[in-house]
């Protein structure tokens, strides 16, 4: 069993105790860290079972998700709704779409709180699939877009009133700017060429940070159920067919603008170097990947997108890359209190990647506009 799991005072035995609260059957034979999420701690649990051999165990970050019980309520609402929709949804023969299951603890609850107060939950594992940190090729990009389109389509008839707003202010760019200003006002900023670049970058783009929120206030865009974090590595790809079969990491499912999801999906998919590259100066937004993602998305989304939705697609693509860069940059200035960081300047490096990606998007405004126009 993997032994390097004693983070935050947790030993392997602690993890086995947590896993034992949820295991449907079998004995735990292995627990290892899974994925590279920036917020929660995620583990893949292996059982000596002939049926379900794996499940996902997570320790929810209560500094980020202050009401984790509401997170689980949203996850259950989502999974129950989608399972019903799939009963009548016309999938192509041979194509599958899977929804993770919430595994109940021994006491019948959808979570377990350990003696130290940590909040644990368990989800089924999507077998026969894998995810990737970056898009492999055009076909993969199209499948990532298809996955987001499927997600939005299956939730298109779910009233937002049934979902709790578990992250107030999430993806509300003006609020991130406000927090950024507060951090600058109370923290001593250690200057460097990279920090100066970031400060100037944010200063030059403050004026349009409210573009999507203004459109919502004017009634041009409306709230819908969103994923909140549809990055490439949250799309599960079937090992045999290469087709998308699920979107995971459902903690941020909540009411929002679908534009946040579209922008975030493209921001993640169209950066071939990935979010963690050390060569931020070389980051660019790939137009071919953009077109493929939007083609996959539109194959399903054409049924529910409005004319106003199309009008604000470019703004979404540009804004969400800027927003994530702003969040990383603010966290760096504040001392890395939100996102996990491997070293002191990790979040600064992440911010520079997103800022460079934003610049690349801005430099290709006409070409991106042409792709969007082609969708209409």
Domain of residue 207: give its range.
Answer: 138-375
The domain that holds 112 is classified in CATH as: 3.30.200.20
CA distances from 196 to 246, 299, 321, 352 (A): 41, 43, 19, 11
Spatial distance between the Cα atoms of 247 and 224, rounded to a whole number of angstroms: 17
Q: Is a pLDDT exceeding 50 seen at residue 154? A: yes
DSSP classification of residue 364: T
Look up the CATH number of the domain holding residue 215. 3.90.1200.10
Question: For the residues 2-16, what does the mean pLDDT come to?
Answer: 62
One domain for residues 31 and 147: no
Which residues have CB under 8 Å from 287's CB, separation 6+?
A: 270, 364, 367, 368, 371
Question: What distance in Å separates the CA atoms of residue 182 and residue 168, rounded to the nearest whole number?
Answer: 18
Is 306 within 8 Å of 175 (Cβ atoms)? no
Q: Are residues 37 and 119 in the same domain?
A: yes
Mark whether 274 and 335 lie in a shared domain: yes
Q: Mean pLDDT, the chain, as a whole number?
A: 92
pLDDT score at 2: 46
**pLDDT tier for residue 6 given thresholds of 50, 70 and 90:** very low
Look at residues 239, 289, 300 and name the one whose alpha carbon lies nearest to residue 265: 289
269: in domain: yes
pLDDT surpasses 90 at 224? yes
Phi, psi (degrees; rounded to nearest 5) at 74: -65, -40
This prediction has a pTM of: 0.90
Is 347 found in the same domain as 237?
Answer: yes
Count of domains observed in the chain: 2
Average pLDDT over residues 127-151: 96
The two three-digit tokens of residue 252, written as one number: 């941020």
> Does pLDDT of 166 surpass 80?
yes
| 160 domain residue, yes or no | yes
- 63 domain-assigned: yes
pLDDT in tens, 291-316: 999 999 999 999 999 999 999 999 99
Please check whether residues 94 and 197 belong to one and the same domain.
Answer: no
Residues 193 and 299 in one domain: yes
Out of 102, 125, 148, pick the residue that ends a domain: 125
Is 98 found in the same domain as 146?
A: no
Distance CA 328, CA 334 (A): 10
Please indicate, yes or no, whether residues 164 and 231 belong to a single structural domain of this protein: yes
Q: pLDDT at position 168, please? A: 86
Please indicate, yes or no, whether residues 72 and 147 belong to a single structural domain of this protein.
no
The pLDDT value recorded for residue 299 is 95
257 alpha-carbon distance from chain centroid: 14
Residue 110 within a domain: yes
Per residue in 280-294, is it b (16+ CB within 10 Å) or e — as a string? beebbbbbebbbbbb
Q: What tokens does 81 get?
A: 């709704």
Q: Look at residue 335 and tell me if it is in a domain.
A: yes
pLDDT band at 5 (very low <50, low <70, confident <90, very high): very low
Q: What percent of the chain shows pLDDT beyond 90? A: 81
Q: Is residue 360 part of a domain?
A: yes
Q: Tell me whether residue 109 is in a domain.
A: yes
Q: Which residue bears the tokens 């070293």?
A: 343
Residues 15-22, mean pLDDT to the nearest whole number:
93
CA-to-CA distance for 241 and 262, rounded, in angstroms? 24
Choose among 326, 316, 311: nearest CA to 361: 316
Last residue of a domain, one of 125, 157, 183: 125
Residue 4's pLDDT is 44
Position 373 pLDDT exceeds 70? yes
């Amino acid at each position: 069993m993997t032994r390097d799991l004693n983070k935050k005072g947790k030993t392997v035995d602690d993890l086995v105790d947590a896993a034992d609260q949820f295991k449907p059957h079998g004995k735990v034979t292995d627990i290892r860290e899974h994925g590279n999420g920036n917020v929660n701690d995620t583990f893949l649990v292996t059982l000596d079972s002939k049926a379900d051999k794996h499940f996902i165990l997570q320790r929810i970050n209560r500094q980020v998700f202050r009401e984790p019980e509401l997170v689980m309520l949203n996850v259950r609402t989502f999974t129950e709704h989608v399972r019903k929709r799939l009963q009548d949804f016309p999938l192509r023969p041979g194509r599958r779409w899977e929804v993770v299951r919430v595994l109940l603890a021994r006491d019948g609850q959808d979570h377990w709180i350990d003696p130290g107060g940590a909040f644990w939950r368990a989800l089924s594992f999507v077998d026969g699939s894998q995810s990737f940190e970056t898009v492999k090729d055009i076909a993969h990009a199209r499948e990532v877009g298809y996955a987001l389109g499927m997600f939005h389509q299956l939730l298109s008839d779910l009233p937002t009133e049934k979902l709790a707003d578990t992250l107030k202010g999430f993806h509300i760019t003006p609020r991130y700017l406000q927090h950024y200003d507060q951090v600058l006002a109370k923290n001593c900023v250690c200057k460097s060429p990279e920090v100066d670049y970031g400060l100037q970058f944010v200063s030059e783009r403050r004026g349009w940070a409210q573009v999507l929120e203004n459109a919502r206030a004017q009634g041009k865009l409306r709230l819908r159920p969103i994923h909140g974090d549809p990055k490439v590595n949250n799309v599960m790809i079937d090992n045999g067919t290469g087709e998308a079969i699920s979107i995971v990491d459902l903690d941020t499912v909540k009411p929002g603008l679908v534009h946040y999801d579209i922008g975030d999906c493209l921001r993640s998919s169209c950066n071939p170097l990935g979010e963690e590259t050390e060569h931020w100066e070389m980051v660019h937004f790939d137009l071919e990947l953009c077109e493929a993602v939007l083609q996959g998305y539109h194959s399903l989304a054409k049924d529910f997108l409005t004319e106003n939705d199309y009008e604000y697609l470019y703004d979404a693509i540009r804004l969400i890359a800027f927003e994530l860069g702003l969040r990383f940059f603010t966290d760096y200035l504040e001392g890395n209190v939100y996102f996990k960081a491997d070293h002191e300047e990790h979040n600064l490096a992440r911010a520079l990647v997103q800022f460079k990606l934003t610049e690349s998007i801005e430099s290709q405004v006409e070409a991106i506009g042409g792709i969007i126009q082609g969708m209409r």
